Chains A and B, each alone.
Chain A
């Protein structure tokens, strides 16, 4: 194709997105669109499955059968999210093995929030309330993103995430209405998860790269800072209902802006964790790699078995 022809295709492509048409796997797309989507969707998929680890950590210790069942169901949902997102990403011409390889070697990122440890039962509530809550704010706009398979996966994912968020809040509310030990546990969880949750929206707008392109492709509709503000505004009244204190002395309502003002995020910590030096980065990757390596014989067996079956079927067909 000549440069001019490509240019022409690109114009048609951008116009389709501007008209709110969905791009489907078989459609022509610019290489950069494909690459950006592979990066973002695989990163999202990895976040879902790495996110199973800190929550899976409490399944065996859940305090009641009802909570155990709810946590199992939640972690199972996250695995399902991982599955749809990997499938959506595969439509862009990358295999699941390649994506895993990128995760295991540190080439692909996942949400940094999962590099923090889950130390008490209250962390399960805090993750549902804050982490799923932040994820929803990030993801609702993606239900209208330009890439069809991603948009459709997001619609399904968002429904479940809002259920997780309500469930997390309800679980914390039970603690807050409980004994002083339980309420302290909830407060301690909020203390540890608050700032990392604010970091989930990424760097501030002036430091954030490739935002403009992402806006055009509807991978983004609002900026990081706008989304973060939305999260703070939504969450503060909920903390009031719980009766626990957000660990930010600078947090206060700003009448003029019609928003909450909040304190400065520790960006050094943010970058430290992003670069792989958070409290649990090594542990999370080690767990994923070990699950993958220990499962190799199982996956090989399944392939060998499928091949034998195929052969048997062929022989049967020949015989009949």
Chain B
């Protein structure tokens, strides 16, 4: 097994958890209700927890004495491999929910496969994650329905959200950073196999939410190659602020 490609592979998963967890962390205390605030914080907390498990494992594999925090905080922008979807800003609660649902649906399908990985650590992290992410997906899916099939205003807003985020969904299945070798060894998940189920599940829920499913063209890719959005640098400046300002300290 090639250590480097496994290390890279773990980052292509975990960076999504970190960045989405970070985005959700911006919202604490500013949501539409106490209950949604608690749920948002809880999802963020789960994602940061998963990030830690993945990064600890990645640091182990690399074997250069790095810590989870070195990986989380001390990389250059182009070295983060999360997809564009999860870094999209919290424009309003509809975007938060839409982004969450589009991610959760993918991530749950993904973890369901990853639990069968021949890599025991990845399989164990996936098993634990499935419980958490099933809850996340129920929460976000229920809210997509409420907002889509709620008031006239919320319906319009939610349709706009779905249209706005749709260009980013196909990148979820982009195989950048996933080596064929790892798939052959049964370590990595073949993302292309998840695509059809994903679009089926998402379309069904959007229909239930009385929302139109956007056409499947004009997708945007980049995050997995390290080419991020303009929003991303700002997110990193918050994320990295302490570690950059006070290097080499214990917190």
Residues on A facing B (Cβ under 8 Å): 49, 52-53, 56, 59-69, 72-73, 75-76, 79-80, 82-83, 86, 121, 171, 174-175, 178-179, 181-182, 287, 290-292, 294-305, 308
The reply to whether B154 and A75 contact each other, CB–CB distance below 8 Å, is no
The reply to whether A297 and B145 contact each other, CB–CB distance below 8 Å, is no
If A69-B52, A182-B249, A292-B32 are given as contacts, then 10 extra A-B residue pairs at C-beta distance below 8 Å, sorted by A number, are A63-B251, A67-B251, A79-B38, A83-B34, A121-B242, A287-B29, A294-B93, A295-B33, A297-B151, A300-B153
Interface centre among A52, A64, A67 (most CB of B within 10 A): A64
A307 to B250, CA, bound (A): 53
B28 at the A interface (CB under 8 A): yes
The reply to whether B249 and A179 contact each other, CB–CB distance below 8 Å, is yes
The reply to whether A80 and B38 contact each other, CB–CB distance below 8 Å, is yes
Q: What are 24 A-to-B residue pairs whose CB atoms are below 8 Å?
A: A52-B28, A56-B29, A60-B26, A63-B243, A65-B69, A65-B72, A67-B251, A68-B48, A72-B45, A76-B45, A79-B34, A79-B37, A82-B34, A83-B35, A121-B242, A178-B249, A178-B250, A295-B32, A297-B157, A298-B33, A298-B147, A304-B154, A305-B145, A305-B149
A69 to B52, CA, bound (A): 10
A292 to B32, CA, bound (A): 6
Pick from A65, A75, A290, A308: contact of B48, CB below 8 A. Answer: A65
Pick from A52, A66, A67, A305: contact of B29, CB below 8 A. Answer: A52
Q: Which residues of B contact A287 (CB under 8 A)?
A: 29-30
The reply to whether A72 and B48 contact each other, CB–CB distance below 8 Å, is yes
Q: Which residues of B contact A174 (CB under 8 A)?
A: 250-251
A171 to B42, CA, bound (A): 22
| Number of B residues, CB within 8 Å of A | 48
A82 to B28, CA, bound (A): 14
Assess A300 versus B243: contact at CB under 8 Å? Given A65-B68, A291-B31. no
Q: Which residues of A contact B37 (CB under 8 A)?
A: 52, 79
Q: Which residues of B contact A63 (CB under 8 A)?
A: 242-243, 246, 249, 251
The reply to whether B150 and A305 contact each other, CB–CB distance below 8 Å, is yes
The reply to whether A53 and B149 contact each other, CB–CB distance below 8 Å, is no
The reply to whether B151 and A304 contact each other, CB–CB distance below 8 Å, is yes
A65 to B70, CA, bound (A): 10
Minimal Cβ-Cβ distance residue in A for B242: A63
A292 to B44, CA, bound (A): 21
Minimal Cβ-Cβ distance residue in A for B235: A60
> Smallest distance from the beta carbon of B239 to chain A beta carbons, Å?
7
A290 to B44, CA, bound (A): 22
Q: Which residues of B contact A301 (CB under 8 A)?
A: 146-147, 150-151, 153-154
Please encode chain B, from 14 to 44, with 1 for each CB lying within 8 Å of some chain A CB and 0 for all others.
Answer: 0000000010011011111111111001101
A83 to B69, CA, bound (A): 33
Q: Which residues of A contact B186 (CB under 8 A)?
A: none
A104 to B249, CA, bound (A): 41
B241 at the A interface (CB under 8 A): yes
> Smallest distance from the beta carbon of B87 to chain A beta carbons, Å?
13
The reply to whether A298 and B32 contact each other, CB–CB distance below 8 Å, is yes
B180 at the A interface (CB under 8 A): no
The reply to whether B29 and A49 contact each other, CB–CB distance below 8 Å, is yes
Q: Which residues of B contact A298 (CB under 8 A)?
A: 32-33, 36, 93-94, 147, 154
The reply to whether B42 and A76 contact each other, CB–CB distance below 8 Å, is yes
> Smallest distance from the beta carbon of A43 to chain B beta carbons, Å?
16
The reply to whether A65 and B44 contact each other, CB–CB distance below 8 Å, is no
Those 3 A-B pairs whose CB atoms lie nearest each other, nearest first? A295-B32, A301-B150, A301-B154
Q: Which residues of A contact B38 (CB under 8 A)?
A: 76, 79-80, 83
> Smallest distance from the beta carbon of B208 to chain A beta carbons, Å?
12
Pick from A62, A66, A296: contact of B242, CB below 8 A. Answer: A62
Interface residues of B in 135-156 (CB under 8 A from A): 145-147, 149-151, 153-154
Q: Which residues of B contact A308 (CB under 8 A)?
A: 149
The reply to whether B68 and A68 contact each other, CB–CB distance below 8 Å, is no
A305 to B153, CA, bound (A): 12
A291 to B250, CA, bound (A): 35
Please encode chain B, from 52 to 65, with 1 for each CB lying within 8 Å of some chain A CB and 0 for all others.
Answer: 10010000000000
Interface centre among B29, B44, B241 (most CB of A within 10 A): B29
The reply to whether B239 and A60 contact each other, CB–CB distance below 8 Å, is yes
Interface centre among B28, B38, B154 (most CB of A within 10 A): B28
> Smallest distance from the beta carbon of B251 to chain A beta carbons, Å?
4
The reply to whether B25 and A68 contact each other, CB–CB distance below 8 Å, is yes
Q: Which residues of A contact B246 (CB under 8 A)?
A: 63, 179, 181-182
B230 at the A interface (CB under 8 A): no
Q: Which residues of B contact A65 (CB under 8 A)?
A: 48, 51-52, 55, 68-69, 72
